[in-house]
Chains A and B, each alone.
Chain A
Amino acid sequence: NAGVMQNPRHLVRRRGQEARLRCSPMKGHSHVYWYRQLPEEGLKFMVYLQKENIIDESGMPKERFSAEFPKEGPSILRIQQVVRGDSAAYFCASSREGTGINSPLHFGNGTRLTVT
């Protein structure tokens, strides 16, 4: 499968634990984006990364959230000390270059995080 791969599909964490969400972009894509979707709401931009660089993190909460896209391996979205309000679907998307008509987003299947 050459699509965007996210894992795990479902993640359950107790309050205070850490959540790590992984995303491998589509083959040939070097731009990765993370979005969060709360139930019955739209997609909210979190962070935009290229290999070893954070391009735009304007949508990331200031505390507890971090993201990386190392030279080797998948992109990681890390949430420390999770709270119930972090329960959501987290989608990763990738594109060949910055989003445009020649470089649309391709989404992974998402990770559904549940905080108990």
Chain B
Amino acid sequence: QKEVEQNSGPLSVPEGAIASLNCTYSDRGSQSFFWYRQYSGKSPELIMFIYSNGDKEDGRFTAQLNKASQYVSLLIRDSQPSDSATYLCAGPNAGKSTFGDGTTLTVKP
């Protein structure tokens, strides 16, 4: 089993909708998680991190962590075409970060 998994295929939402991106993890000891955004041909950039159960909001982005279910999600409200990118979930593992395979989001005008 992968340490961090993003199972959903490409996601397409209309402009203004809420995009929901999901991630599960296998190590119950994991304490914190990161969401990175990667535009096509570019490097990943950190957009949010979360380490407490519950929700963390930053502008249009909300990260959610459920340690009991070993589940992390990222909600993007009022999605914009500029949000079209691949979103990578990552968890620390012995000092390094382990990434999921990413979910590609397309926001259609």
A-B contacts at CB below 8 angstroms, number:
60
Stretch at the interface among B12-20, B67-75, B77-85, B90-98: B90-98
Once the chains bind, are A105 and B43 in contact (CB under 8 Å)? Answer: no
**Chain B residue total in the interface (Cβ 8 A):** 23
Partner of B32, one of A101, A106, A109: A101
Once the chains bind, are A41 and B101 in contact (CB under 8 Å)? Answer: yes
Q: Which residues on the B side are within 8 Å of A56 (C-beta)?
A: 94-96
A12 at the interface (CB under 8 A from B): no
Shortest B74–chain A CB gap in Å is: 15
Q: Which residue of A lies closest to B86 (CB)?
A: A42
B49 at the interface (CB under 8 A from A): yes
Shortest B106–chain A CB gap in Å is: 14
Scan A78-116; emit 1 where CB is below 8 A from any B CB, else 0: 000000000000010100001111001111111000000
Q: Which residues on the B side are within 8 Å of A43 (C-beta)?
A: 44, 88, 99
Binding site for A on B (CB under 8 A): 6, 31-32, 34, 42-46, 49, 51, 88, 90, 92, 94-102
